[in-house]
């Protein structure tokens, strides 16, 4: 039965999670004992090959993030049609200016005591960049194309029981294969799952609740398995590990069990209350032997998409206050790290963000687990290209052979997450033109529907006029518009779905703490220092400033939300400076590459975060040489009016109004003249009473280093990270917003120095070296735990500055 209708869209109660195997199954994480090299001679896959001189690494690993930065890496000369370019130009930092091009080899020698005769084993790759070719004990056992895809190989017949095995993986990154920094290497986890021959199929369990009965949720479980005459018992546990429902099944059909279980008075999952249950599913052989047990965390929630009304979650109309995220983690590169992901999501929670779009690739398992746990809705995306290329060696080379397999793996591996509320089959694909593109869009959407008939599918469309004419946009479950705010009304009237998603919005550019004069709204504005102004009035030729999107989101109920490009700066695509050097990372982020909030963070926060009050003043007030010159003051606040004082003198009261989109969402004093001293803002509540006050002051010379950790206690697991913000203050403790001092970092005790980042898109300093210059008075140092508990100390020094120290702790 077709579950997708254009008139009444998508009403489901869904239950989702990740699968974690226990009992008769064992997961062996291949983290340690890896060797890596790009300088390989001979048959590196051979069992007898001597790799003892190769670099020792742990996986996840990104070989390119260690640099050096150089414009020679992957220089691309061409026309970026989706950006409206007409002539070919040289793009020097488009893929991050890091050495990701080339071939790398990984080798690991390991034993799996859990594997014995009569058992089966699967080798699972969660991400390998890219075109992995996999060898086990000298034999090629498999390969894949897409570097972002999860895949697995059945190694039952090739894994040696009770002996050492040799795994070799060859990865190849071609030039002209990406539009941003893709990373390089085994950048996500590699593991081996050992299970009984009679067992659940990998990624074969799908849980939803398609209906309710009174106050009860009906949990629907479909579980594929291998074997015959088996039975399945399911226990559903609440967040306190209390069993709230159970069922046993002995009848199966075509290798699949189907159970429906009622959960009384369920706690519903949402961004505000991300409540998770656990389903324990046990597979028994005919003789009663337990063959496998799955522990599946899940959430219960309703989603509904209605024409002219929008999206609702658990019966409440909800707008997507979302951001797009590339997969790199700044100074860590593409190598996945859960502490870094958790920090990102913590920052986004403070922003008031409730949704994430994985752009333009498949999300990591860790990111989805955290989204479930912390409460973020998720738009899981698959491809940036289909059959027609954007870059010469992009996904177009794999589309015909791999597209269906990649979607199947994406959906089956992740469909049990409550956070995922929508799929995306593509982003700004050139296939938006013509009949062939319409056929491909329908084909891909049908695959998603077949694998998961409970969620809608979108595409991020930038060629909106073309998709109106061809029928491309009309066939999608959810029409997604990338920018093109001037076409929202026409698209809404033309497309039959009765709603529009801002699948990619804004692309405003700014550099943290950098301000340019005169203050004017501009497109493609460039400066000699290759920075963009943090007055948040500069965008790209195809894009706009945030306020233009806010108007549509607030005034049009049929606009169901937005995903801002981007939540954080990312490596590569240094627009508008992608033809300049040095410039090697983006300016689009609401926060910079180090995760430090830009001014724009507070503009979004003032609208998105309804739980806490926002009052933010810009620019900083250190403008030696600008005395007497016009220096506009902007205030981002969720209050409607405020009064500005400069050195005690009132500059008047400003009130939000509808004169322009900027006047509607910002308070602006455009005629203020700079004089050093104190800027104070008093915001007023709806009754005209002073509600909150904030000051910024002119700082003196840098005097002292100040350190602040996001977490002072971390896990002694060799992976956890404390992110320490480093800044300098003057002798009176006032932050120095223009400081560029070079600092040195030293970590002692039960931790190591991992990296640093200052958020400067033009910096060529390497992240892993133990020194870096401040940018706009700040940077971030990453302190990584070792596998030994104990005290950790970070010491930061700089010439002429009072040393900063912070004590951390790692615990088991």
Active-site positions? 428, 504
Task: State the distance between the two ends of the chain, measured CA to CA, in whole angstroms.
Answer: 51
- Say how far apart CA 758 and CA 769 lie, in whole Å: 13
Please name the residue that has the structure tokens 């700089």.
798
Q: What is the DSSP letter of 185?
A: B
CA distances from 405 to 413, 451, 637 (A): 12, 11, 47
Q: What angle do CA 186, 187, 192 make, to 5 degrees?
A: 55
Question: For the purposes of burial, counting CB atoms within 10 Å of the CB of 265, is it exposed (0-12), middle (13-18) or buried (19 or more)?
Answer: exposed
Q: What does 415-475 look like in DSSP terms, one character per residue?
A: TT-TTEEEEEEEES-GGGSHHHHHHHHHHHHHHHHHH-TTS-EEEEES-HHHHHHHSHHHH
Q: Which of 231, 207, 228, 227 is nearest to 219 (CA)?
A: 207
- Say how far apart CA 110 and CA 626 lie, in whole Å: 65
The sign of the torsion formed by the CA atoms of 666, 672, 677, 681 equals negative
User: 3-state SS string over 617-655?
Assistant: EECCCCCCCCCCCECCEEEEECCCEEEEEECCEEEEEEE
CA distances from 269 to 309, 563, 734, 779 (A): 22, 21, 43, 36
Would you call 396 helix, strand, or coil by DSSP?
A: helix
- Say how far apart CA 372 and CA 366 lie, in whole Å: 10
757-783 burial: b if 16+ Cβ within 10 Å, else e: bbbbbbbebbbeeeebbbbbbbbbbbb
- Cα 433 to the center of its chain, rounded Å: 29
CA atoms within 13 A on the CB side of 591: 26
How many Cβ atoms sit within 10 Å of the Cβ of residue 645? 16
Judge contact between 56 and 35, C-beta under 8 A: yes
- Say how far apart CA 399 and CA 671 lie, in whole Å: 56
Each as own residue / partner, the long-range contacts of residues 337-342 (CB below 8 Å, 24 or more positions apart, any chain) are 337/60, 337/719, 337/721, 338/366, 338/370, 338/719, 339/714, 339/719, 339/720, 339/721, 339/723, 340/721, 340/723, 341/366, 341/367, 341/370, 342/370, 342/374
Q: Which of 346, 443, 452, 461 is nearest to 403 (CA)?
A: 443
Query: Cis (ω within 30 of 0) for the bond into 279?
Result: no
- Dihedral Cα 301, 307, 309, 313, nearest 10 deg: 10
CA atoms within 13 A on the CB side of 810: 24
Q: Which two tokens stand for residue 635?
A: 């205030």
Judge contact between 254 and 213, C-beta under 8 A: no
């Amino acid at each position: 039965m077709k579950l997708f209708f254009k008139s009444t869209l998508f009403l489901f109660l869904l239950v989702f999670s990740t699968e974690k195997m226990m009992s008769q199954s064992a997961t062996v994480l291949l983290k340690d004992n890896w060797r890596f090299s790009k300088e390989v001679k001979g048959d590196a896959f051979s069992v007898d090959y001597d790799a003892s001189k190769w670099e020792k690494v742990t996986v996840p690993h990104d070989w390119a993030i260690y640099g050096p930065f150089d414009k020679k890496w992957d220089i691309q000369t061409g026309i970026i049609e989706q950006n409206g370019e007409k002539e070919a130009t040289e793009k020097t930092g488009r893929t991050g200016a890091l050495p990701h091009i080339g071939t790398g080899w990984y080798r690991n020698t390991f034993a799996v005591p859990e594997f014995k005769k009569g058992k089966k084993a699967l080798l699972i790759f969660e991400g390998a960049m890219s075109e992995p070719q996999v060898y086990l004990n000298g034999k090629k056992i498999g390969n894949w194309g897409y570097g972002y895809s999860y895949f697995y190989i059945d190694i039952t017949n090739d894994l040696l029981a009770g002996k050492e095995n040799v795994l070799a993986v060859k990865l190849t990154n071609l030039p002209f294969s990406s539009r941003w920094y893709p990373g390089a290497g085994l950048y996500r986890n590699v593991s081996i799952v050992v299970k009984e021959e009679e067992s659940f199929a990998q990624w074969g369990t799908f849980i939803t609740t398609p209906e309710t009965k009174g106050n009860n949720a009906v949990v629907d479980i479909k579980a594929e398995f291998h074997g015959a005459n088996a039975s399945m018992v399911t226990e559903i546990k609440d967040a306190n590990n209390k069993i709230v429902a159970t069922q046993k099944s002995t009848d199966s059909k075509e290798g699949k069990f189907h159970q429906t279980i009622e959960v009384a008075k369920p706690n519903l999952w949402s961004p505000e209350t991300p409540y998770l249950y656990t389903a324990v599913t046990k597979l028994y052989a005919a003789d009663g032997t337990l063959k496998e047990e799955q522990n599946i965390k899940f959430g219960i929630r309703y989603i509904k998409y209605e024409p002219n009304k929008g999206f609702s979650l658990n019966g409440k109309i909800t707008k997507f206050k979302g951001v797009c995220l590339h997969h790199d983690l700044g100074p860590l590169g593409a190598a996945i790290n859960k502490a870094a992901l958790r920090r990102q999501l913590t920052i986004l929670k403070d922003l008031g963000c409730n949704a994430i779009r994985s752009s333009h690739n498949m999300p990591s398992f860790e990111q989805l687990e955290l989204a479930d746990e912390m409460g973020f809705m998720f738009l899981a995306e698959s491809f940036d290209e289909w059959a027609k290329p954007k870059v010469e060696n992009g996904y177009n080379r794999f589309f015909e052979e791999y597209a269906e397999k990649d979607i199947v793996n994406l959906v089956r591996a992740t469909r049990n997450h409550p956070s995922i509320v929508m799929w995306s089959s593509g982003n700004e694909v050139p296939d938006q033109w013509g009949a062939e593109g319409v056929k491909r869009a329908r084909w891909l959407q049908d695959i998603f529907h077949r694998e998961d008939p409970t969620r809608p599918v979108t595409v991020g469309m930038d060629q909106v006029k073309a998709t109106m004419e061809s029928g491309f946009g009309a066939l999608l479950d959810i029409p997604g518009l990338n920018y093109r705010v001037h076409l929202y009304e026409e698209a809404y009237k033309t497309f039959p779905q009765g709603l529009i998603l801002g699948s990619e919005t804004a692309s405003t550019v700014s550099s943290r703490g950098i301000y340019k004069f005169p203050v004017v709204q501009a497109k493609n504005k460039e400066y000699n220092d290759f920075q963009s102004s943090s007055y948040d009035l500069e965008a790209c030729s195809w894009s706009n400033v945030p306020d233009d999107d806010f108007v549509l989101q607030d005034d049009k109920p049929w606009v169901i939300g937005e995903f801002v490009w981007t939540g954080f700066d990312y490596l590569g695509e240094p627009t508008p400076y992608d033809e300049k050097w040095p410039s090697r990372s983006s300016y689009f982020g609401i926060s910079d590459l180090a995760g430090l909030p830009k001014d724009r963070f507070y503009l979004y926060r003032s609208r998105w975060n309804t739980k806490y009050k926002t009052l933010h003043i810009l620019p900083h007030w250190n403008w030696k040489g600008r005395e007497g010159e016009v220096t506009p003051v902007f205030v981002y606040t969720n209050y409607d009016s405020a009064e500005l004082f400069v050195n005690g003198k009132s500059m008047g009261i400003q009130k939000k109004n509808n004169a322009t989109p900027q006047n509607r969402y910002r308070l602006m004093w455009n005629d203020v003249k700079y004089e050093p001293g104190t800027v104070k803002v008093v915001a007023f509540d709806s009754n005209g009473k002073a509600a909150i006050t904030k000051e910024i002051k002119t700082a003196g010379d840098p005097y002292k280093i100040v350190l602040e950790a996001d977490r002072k206690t971390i896990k002694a697991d060799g992976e956890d990270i404390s992110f320490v913000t480093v800044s300098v203050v003057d002798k009176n403790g006032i932050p120095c917003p223009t400081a560029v001092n070079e600092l040195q970092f030293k970590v002692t005790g039960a931790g190591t120095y991992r990296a640093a980042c200052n958020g400067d898109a033009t910096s060529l300093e390497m992240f892993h070296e133990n020194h870096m210059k401040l940018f706009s008075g700040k940077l971030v140092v990453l302190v990584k735990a070792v596998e030994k508990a104990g005290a950790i100390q970070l010491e930061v020094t700089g010439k002429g500055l009072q040393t900063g120290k912070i004590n951390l702790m790692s615990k088991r």
